[in-house]
Amino acid sequence: MPEPLRRDFLKMVPLAAVASAQPSHGAAPNFVVIVTDDQGIGDVGCYGHPEVRTPNLDRLAASGVRFTQWYSNAPICSASRAAILTGQFPDRAGVKGALTSEPTWNVPGLRAGEITLPRLLAERGYRTAAFGKWHLGSAPPSRPMSQGFDEFFGWYSGWLDAYSHRYYQLGSPPGKIFHDLWRNDTEVFEEPAYMTELLAHEAQAFLARQTSQKPFLLYLAFGAPHYSMMAPKKYLDRFPATMDRDRRMHLAMVAAVDDAVGGILNQLKQQGMEENTVVWFQSDNGATREVRASSDGKPYHGGSNAPYRGWKQGLFDGGMHVPAMLRAPGHVKANQVWDRPMMSMDLLPTFLALADPSAKAPEHVDGRDILPVLRGEAQPHESIYWSFEKQRAVRSGDWKLILNPPSYPGDELTDTVWLSNLEADPGEKTNLAAQHPDRVKEMTAKIRAWERAVHLEPE
């Protein structure tokens, strides 16, 4: 057996031995998909960061599978969310980078008639709801209720002020400031409710209305811990006043999300839905270095992608190697850790298979059902790919190649090609490109072939 495949097989054995439990039969499972914004893998306690207070996320991880090599499909919000909902590489889905935010409500995003997870589940009798950050287009064909959701409570823009629920972007006068909170197609005003708590309330109210007679999908996309950096005092008080100011605020915002997750888990248990509800959690991309998030006008350092290099908007692992966990009673047992790479686009085919075992994912879907992989019945992806602006990256086995790698303040690069072996160097500190020119050539060819496949112009 070739060494990379042998290593993959060995890493699959612990989970495969227990994930072969027979799934429960009967009613189709419910789905709760929770997405946070700019939360690094170093911003969750169960990933080895004891200063972070996330008891409910830790509880969720312990109740199923914690993924240590889960990748977002992009190091930026709109593109990463498009992959979750379409099962496609963002470039194929036509959503690249971060969409603009405009008070004209005509920003195109997801295409009219796109095959999405909520649409596929709705066709199978599911009630579907999207709460929180959308950022996949504000033009009518791109809005949640045009993309398969029955109801929507949230905003279209890239972020909101956590209390006034207004989007603002300063700069050349007059800048942009506008209110952006909607229930279905009606603008609503809930200020000064703290947005994370407001979303938690809406999510629990939705769950309270559900019964075992009709399965549901709840897509809950928090705006935290993305800028604007705000949290009530009760969350700040959970962390030492001596802690770095930006880190303390960041972790307070994460703590508010964690409380919301706890409320959702408790609501499911209270309603007797715990054993028939699949719960998924992940961040949309890694923590950011953007100055706008900092309290001192310097590059932001409140979030953590440790031990990985890089940040949001970059294709070093810190940009898209995110925390992720799955609770799926009857399909995966508790206290499992999966240590091989998978991607956000895998969620659609996985959930479709859980909802309807006889269904096949649409041909254009790039993701794959992860449950046979977790059971050791199939291999993980041979290669996975990313793009962001001029950057391109591919991971094949433990090798990763980045073309036009990113620079950050304090981590400036002049290299245009960066090759790493992630098994030996998970922090991508050493560039092996000069030592392995044939591998660089081979992996560059893979990137070029992928660009053609997803209709992406080469850089």
Sequence-distant (≥ 6) Cβ neighbours of residue 319 within 8 angstroms: 75, 285, 286, 305, 310, 311, 312, 313, 388, 406
Residue 62 CA from chain centroid, whole number: 19
Q: Is the same domain home to 255 and 388? A: no
Q: Is the same domain home to 369 and 390? A: no
Query: 55-62 and 245-270 helices cross at what angle (nearest 10)?
Result: 50
Q: What is the pLDDT of residue 430?
A: 97
- Active-site choice (25, 46, 77, 165): 77
Number of domains in the chain: 2
Q: 32 lies in a domain? A: yes
- Confirm if 72 and 342 have CB atoms less than 8 A apart: no
Query: 347-355 and 77-86 helices cross at what angle (nearest 10)?
Result: 30
Q: Which domain holds residue 55?
A: 3-21+28-374
Catalytic residue at 77?
yes
The residue among 32, 60, 36 whose CA lies nearest residue 222 is 36
Q: Is the same domain home to 416 and 361? A: no
Q: 113 lies in a domain? A: yes
Q: Is the same domain home to 270 and 392? A: no
Q: Is the same domain home to 356 and 214? A: yes
- Confirm if 249 and 236 have CB atoms less than 8 A apart: yes
Residues 79-108 as b or e (16 or more Cβ within 10 Å = b): bbbbbbbbbbbbbbbbbbbbbebbeeeebb
Which regions of the chain are under pLDDT 50? 1-14, 16-25
Task: Tell me the pTM.
Answer: 0.94
Q: 459 lies in a domain? A: no
Q: What is the pLDDT of residue 170?
A: 75
Q: What is the pLDDT of residue 6?
A: 38
Q: What is the pLDDT of residue 16?
A: 44
- Active-site choice (46, 49, 135, 364): 135
CATH of residue 353:
3.40.720.10
Bridge pairing between strands 65-71 and 277-283: unpaired
Q: 390 lies in a domain? A: yes
Q: Is the same domain home to 338 and 394? A: no
Q: What is the pLDDT of residue 459?
A: 72
Q: Is the same domain home to 300 and 345? A: yes
CATH of residue 398:
3.30.1120.10
How many other C-beta atoms lie within 10 A of the C-beta of residue 312? 33
Q: 432 lies in a domain? A: yes
Q: What is the pLDDT of residue 171?
A: 72
The residue among 395, 408, 289 whose CA lies nearest residue 8 is 395
Q: 210 lies in a domain? A: yes
Q: Is the same domain home to 303 and 402? A: no
Q: What is the pLDDT of residue 320?
A: 98
Q: What is the pLDDT of residue 26?
A: 63
Catalytic residue at 135?
yes
Q: Is the same domain home to 345 and 390? A: no
Q: What is the pLDDT of residue 10?
A: 40
Q: 458 lies in a domain? A: no
